[in-house]
Amino acid sequence: MRSLIAPLSCDSLVALAPVTATGATLFAKNSDRPALECQPLSDVPRCDHGVGREVRCTYVVIPQVERTYRVIGSKPYWCWGFEHGMNEHGVVIGNHTVFTKEPVASSGLLGMDLVRLGLERSCNAQDAVRVMSELLAAFGQGGSGFADKDWPYHNSFLVADAREAFVWETSGRHWAVRRVSDVASLSNHLSIESDWDELGPDTMEFAVERGWWVGESPARFNFAAAYRDTISVPGVISSARHARTCGLLERSKGNIGPSHLRSWMRDHYGRIDPRAGLSPADPEFFSVCMHADPVGTTTASIVAEIPENPSRAIYWACLGSPCVGVYLPLFLDVVLPEVLTRGGENYTADSAWWRARRLLECVERDWNAFLPFVRSALDSVEKALAEEAYKVVHQGTAERQAFVEAATTEALEVIDDLLRRLG
């Protein structure tokens, strides 16, 4: 089946400021990709480009804008776009594979390209949705989302800033958007039904013309019912993960903190061993922290804390699988240590991502024996770094820069020590 050829999973969630413990918007996303596809961080400075310039995305060249904003993003080593990221204004975006009845174009903007373009060109979440929808209309989406196979796909997006968030789901050049009221979660299927706030041009008419929706129906147009493909990809792959994150959000609503999100992104349905003898027919085979190749493995994660003042925002970055990783606190005015931005097709010791990957391989030999031991060491350093980050965030850029460099060194020293001990 096509669904077993290439990875197709990701999960993200958002909690707006009124329902969080810190009074800041909280956002999280796991990027699920091929298990050995390195996904380092990328550090893009603010830049003035002038008039008439162009930018080469993964597959297409488009006009550049006069100014782009500073962005921290996470991207597969081979492509231009980002799986998720955050800009200097505190806008954060993540994308997800979705499957619809509409064919995907052989070339166009990747969903990852749209994430990066939305971040580089927007000052708030609503502006980001506008930017991406205009780009989608002009250039379409398409082209393979993988380095080693021809596998194009449609995308959904979760977009947030300090004050509001939006679910934006697409099929080709067609789309629907829904404003988030308090919390929201996305996985790998269309979720906007008749609760949309806006539809893209011709979105309903296109579905009616193809017989996907009965135009004379008295019911309000249902985007997911009309466009979602439930034949090519079994719902079991995303249904339980989506229900899991929705339930976690609802149960903690009003008291959600960054530590909750970091824990949820590591979730194996409460198990140590993510598979525990389960088969792909079982919904819990596909956990939020994904270990289900060839469907997907979590290769990068973000937890973003976005207060009203973007200079106080924290980008918690985890390279590799969250269950055996550390969320490093990063800041939008700090240059990233090079070790976090290095990494290509093959292992190199100067890449933090590849070192984290080696640790996962050690744990995979015996989850029940090794994961508790590894988490004990990593939780200790992560807790200490989080406590220090909340002090440093109120200091100057120089102090934050020094902290990020020291924190990165400390976390990698712990990972390297675990690698030596686990052999």
In a domain, 166, yes or no: yes
Q: 3-class SS at 248?
A: helix
In a domain, 116, yes or no: yes
Query: pLDDT tens digit string along 53-105?
Result: 999 999 999 999 999 999 999 999 999 999 999 999 999 999 999 999 999 99
Q: 3-class SS at 291?
A: strand
| Domain that includes residue 142, residue range | 2-340
Residue 289 among the catalytic residues? no
| pLDDT attached to residue 216 | 67
Query: pLDDT tens digit string along 273-299?
Result: 999 889 988 999 999 999 998 888 999
Distance CA 398, CA 29 (A): 29
In a domain, 367, yes or no: no
In a domain, 17, yes or no: yes
Number of domains making up the chain? 1
Distance CA 189, CA 236 (A): 11
In a domain, 362, yes or no: no
- Here the tokens at position 19 are 């329902």
Query: pLDDT tens digit string along 308-367?
Result: 999 999 999 999 999 999 999 999 999 999 999 999 999 999 999 999 999 999 999 999
Quote the mean pLDDT of the chain.
95
Alpha helices (H) along 282-365: 338-341, 352-363
Considering only residues 8 and 357, tell me which one the structure prediction assigns the higher pLDDT: 357
Read off the pTM: 0.97
In a domain, 313, yes or no: yes
Query: How crowded is the C-beta side of 312, counted as CA atoms within 13 Å?
Result: 12
- CATH of residue 218's domain is 3.60.60.10
When pLDDT is cut at 50, 70 and 90, the band that residue 5 belongs to is very low
Query: pLDDT tens digit string along 194-248?
Result: 999 999 999 999 999 999 999 766 689 999 999 999 888 888 889 999 999 999 9
In a domain, 283, yes or no: yes
Query: E strand or H helix at 178, and its extent?
Result: strand 174-179
Query: pLDDT tens digit string along 124-177?
Result: 999 999 999 999 999 999 999 999 999 999 999 999 999 999 999 999 999 999
Query: pLDDT tens digit string along 133-148?
Result: 999 999 999 999 999 9
DSSP 70-128: -EEEE--TT-SS-SEEEETTS-EEEEEEE-BSSPPBSSSB-HHHHHHHHHHT-SSHHHH
Distance CA 47, CA 65 (A): 10
In a domain, 334, yes or no: yes
Q: Has residue 2 got a pLDDT over 50? A: no
